[in-house]
């Protein structure tokens, strides 16, 4: 039987995403009612600038007092799209305490304090959903948390930031330098005026923490994620990648150790073979590759940001939370029963592509090879070019602990015949 009394929804934030959520709630009201089993009513919108005209939203719903809105007691679901740590954390906690479940798109907050927020939600019998926090419209958290709940996920490898993928794709396809590609991304609206969170990997690291925690049923915080930005990637790196049959992507990589006793989470640029599905992800799109024991290899692909895609994920969570409300139940919450430790980057086993500027004289290659051998790192291939006393030496290694590879690079810097380390990049996706 259809319930006639509406479920009340309040928005915290009404920017690009929030305004799109409000629009869809209005234009698709009949469909949402049919799917949920009750009508949903937008009961309040908290904003910082109340004077701004917001088309399609009743001005009487606008307030600057977000705290009063979440304390009303008659709100069924709070949709938080303001971002940042505070006041979002306090507002979400207060919402739970006053009877509301929460749908959030706040990756930074969930990555940092997700466990604590889940605990408060459980204490008050409420839901905390955040599909929109990781990959925009791409259904990813729910498949990991529900569809693969009976399987064992061993690896999650993905492109989870559209801005960086647009920049790297432009560098790859047009030969542009980093700054030129960034300028294009900014002009097209893909990059913020301050792109630091994207290009230095902070955004992707927060998403990696969330994905690792869900995939491996353990606590992974933002501080546990190794992070390396992509501002040092050059056109020369792409030229080297092409010679290897590879391209370069900024990847979020979450892995379970071979012995199953620990996990790792990291974000950094990497060369991946052109044959890998992630190599063909173009423009500002996202894609995540999941490897599970029974399901095998799965790929999730689609737009990872923007008002409409992110709002789609928010509305999907809203429908699920409202259904739970009607059933007087809650959905899947935090799962961290494995309590696996998060290993440091030094313990990660990977390959390196190292480009060295060296003196063009006999014995240089032997010296370099000796350094690799002394650190227990096996060389896969070597390419050397040079003239007029200067040379370039490119070494690709076999898989080895990252600490051993880092130690090798430091030792190479101390060789008299090595003029400099032009670039260092990991090789993934084999």
**Catalytic residue list:** 207
Under 8 Å between Cβ of 61 and 44: yes
Q: What gap in Å lies between CA 402 and CA 208, rounded to an integer? A: 19
Q: Mark residue 12 as left, alpha or beta (left: phi above 0; alpha: psi -120 to 50; beta: remaining).
A: beta
Question: How are the residues of the chain apportioned to helix, strand and coil, as percentages rounded to the nearest 5?
Answer: 40, 25, 35
Angle at 200 between CA 195 and CA 206, to 5 degrees: 100
The dihedral formed by the CA atoms of 131, 27, 320 and 140, expressed in degrees to the nearest 10 = -30
Please give the sequence-ordered ranges of beta strands (E in DSSP) within 257-295, or none if there are none.
263-273, 285-292
Torsion sign, CA atoms 206, 87, 24, 6: positive
117, two tokens: 């927020």
> Beta 62-63 vs 77-80: how paired, if at all?
unpaired
Q: Supply the DSSP string of 361-422, one letter for each residue.
A: STTHHHHHHHHHHHTT--EEEEEEEEETTEEEEEEEE-SEEHHHHHHHHHHHHT-TTEEEEE
152, two tokens: 């064992």
Torsion sign, CA atoms 87, 88, 92, 93: negative
Q: Supply the DSSP string of 131-181, one letter for each residue.
A: THHHHTTS--HHIIIIITTTS-EEEEEEE--HHHHHHHHHHHHH---HHHH
261, two tokens: 């006793």
């Amino acid at each position: 039987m259809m319930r006639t009394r509406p479920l009340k929804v309040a928005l915290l934030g009404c920017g690009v995403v929030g305004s799109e959520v409000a629009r869809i709630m209005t234009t698709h009201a009949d469909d949402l009612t049919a799917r949920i089993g009750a009508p949903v009513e937008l009961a309040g919108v908290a904003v910082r600038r109340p004077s701004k005209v917001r088309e399609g939203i009743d001005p009487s719903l606008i307030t600057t007092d977000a705290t009063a809105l979440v304390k009303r007691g008659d709100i069924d679901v709070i949709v938080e799209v303001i971002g940042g740590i505070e006041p979002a954390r306090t507002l979400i906690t207060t919402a739970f305490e006053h009877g509301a479940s929460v749908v959030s798109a706040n990756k930074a907050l969930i990555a940092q304090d997700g466990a604590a927020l889940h605990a408060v939600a459980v204490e008050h019998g409420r839901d905390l959903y955040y599909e929109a926090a990781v990959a925009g419209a791409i259904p990813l958290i729910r498949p990991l948390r529900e569809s693969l709940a009976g399987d064992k996920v061993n690896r999650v490898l993905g492109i989870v930031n559209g801005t960086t993928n647009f920049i790297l794709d432009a560098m790859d396809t047009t030969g542009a330098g980093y700054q030129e590609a960034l300028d294009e991304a900014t002009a097209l609206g893909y990059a913020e005026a301050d792109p630091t969170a994207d290009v230095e990997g902070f955004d992707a690291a927060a998403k990696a923490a969330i994905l690792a925690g869900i995939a491996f049923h353990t606590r992974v915080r933002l501080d546990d994620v190794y992070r390396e930005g992509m501002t040092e990637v050059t056109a020369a790196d792409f030229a080297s990648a092409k010679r290897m049959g590879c391209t370069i992507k900024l990847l979020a990589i979450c892995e379970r150790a071979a012995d199953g006793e620990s996990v790792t989470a990291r974000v950094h640029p990497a060369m991946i073979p052109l044959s890998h599905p992630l190599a063909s992800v173009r423009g500002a799109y996202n894609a995540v590759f999941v490897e599970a024991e029974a399901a095998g290899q799965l790929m999730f692909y689609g737009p990872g940001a923007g008002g409409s895609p992110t709002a789609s994920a928010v509305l999907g969570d809203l429908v699920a939370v409202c259904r739970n409300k009607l059933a007087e139940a809650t959905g899947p919450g935090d799962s961290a029963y494995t309590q696996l430790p998060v290993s440091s980057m030094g313990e990660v086993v990977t390959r390196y592509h190292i480009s060295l500027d060296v003196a063009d004289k006999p014995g240089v290659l032997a010296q370099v090879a000796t350094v690799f051998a002394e650190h227990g790192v096996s060389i896969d291939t070597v390419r050397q070019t040079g003239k007029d006393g200067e040379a370039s030496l490119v070494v690709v290694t076999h898989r080895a602990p990252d600490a051993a590879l880092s130690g090798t690079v430091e030792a190479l810097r101390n060789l008299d015949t090595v003029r400099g380390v032009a670039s260092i990049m990991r090789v993934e996706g084999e």
